[in-house]
Amino acid sequence: MPAKKSRKSASNDISTKISALGPAKISSTLECALFIADKPGVPVAIANKEGESASYGGNIHEFEPAGPREKLYFDPSKTKCAVVTCGGLCPGINDVIRAIVMTAHHSYGVASVVGIRYGLQGFIPEFGHPLMELKPDKVASIHEFGGTVLASSRGPQKPTEIVDALERMNVSVLFLIGGDGTMQASLKIQEEVASRGLKLSIIGIPKTIDNDINFVPRSFGFDTAVEKATEAIRCAHTEALGAPNGIGMVKLMGRESGFIAAQATLALKDVNYVLIPEDPFELHGPAGFLHVLYERLRRRGHAVVVVAEGAGQDLLAASSETDASGNPVLRDICGLLRREIDTYFTAQNMEYTLKYIDPSYIIRSIPANANDRVYCGFLGQNAVHAAMAGKTGMVVSKLYGHYVHLPLDLVAGKRKKINTMSNYWQAVLQSTGQPVHMLSTLDQYPQGSTCRIGS
């Protein structure tokens, strides 16, 4: 008889166990609910190493399924929940807030849901941000608008001060909506809560428009971002066709991961070159971007270039500046490309027209589309189900069609990136038709053919 598989693999040290505040003893009053047992788990293949196919070289791990539980840990009539949104804006935040509030009030009848204003700053008394009482009539229509009704902020705050505030407010459940930095902060808050022996549930809802949170195949707002990005690409294509040797350049979000640029490229098929952080490229030399672009204009008379904001940072002088979240301030790759294109094409005596489009703040500020709204609704609902059952130190996500609970330490601290050896990236390259050797293989060129340009 084969041995039972462990929920922790020695080969890649992944633990899928979800912490609980204690035994759930209160019977749920949910009507028409299909209650979910904590076991059996949802089996998912996880690759052993980067670049390896999970289907053939991975280990099977069982993740705890999301959904309503028959027994609750918290008494809803005595439970106070808090919601906070952190980091940059993203389509769908208001949808998640609405789903949390509606589920908490209408499905469970919780005593109170409060909103923490302006991110983690809202916990710190010296900032003076007032709380917002979140009732169904207050959030009924917020999903029709972009942004977050709670507002947001960047930058760390001390976990001790945050937990002090939670104790003062008598909060039982904290929902944190944010990206990688927020998930790291959530983990520290949960550790502080545990060290004090508090019965306080910490539930994360992963948010990042870049789609770069570890173990989260698709973050909410990504579908909307790609849809809006294709509009900018379509405009760039029209502009490129409207003049001799026309170039349409679109800058998209993607600090360390080029998922929006890649997915929008696949969606529209009008892109000729896509540059992402995961795949370095060269400007000069026989296989450099400038020469390749020049040759395309000679052949076809137009080109569309999509650039993720974090692409080509190695071509620019390094910056010692950091933003409020501690991330290195990115240098202007599109500014460099536009200057170098002008210099190169002038030397080649080629007249050209370049139209530059940066839709970043438009993309992140719009309301979610229909697909993301459905997704946000399920995330918010399942976050409340998990919290009322006493789960803590976890996030809600969707893995291969199943909503599951993920431990915070799995998603915090590591960004997901495009595997440039994958079939997905090969499909992007096939869609653009750009030369494979324009990217990656820097050591194939003769010495002196590469060039690093300072800002």
| Catalytic residue ranges | 210
Name the E strands within 158-240.
173-178, 201-206
Residues with Cβ within 8 Å of 293's Cβ and at least 6 positions away in sequence, in order, are 247, 273, 303, 305, 341
Query: How far, in Å, CA of 422 to CA of 416, rounded?
Result: 14
Helix (H) or strand (E) holding 224: helix 222-241
Backbone angles phi, psi at 203, to 5 degrees: -125, 125
CA 353/CA 304 separation, integer angstroms: 12
Find where tokens 């399920």 sit.
378
Tell me how long the chain is. 455
128 vs 10: CA distance, rounded Å: 48
| DSSP characters over 336-399 | HHHHHHHHHHHHTT---EEEEE--HHHHHHSPP-HHHHHHHHHHHHHHHHHHHTTEESEEEEEE
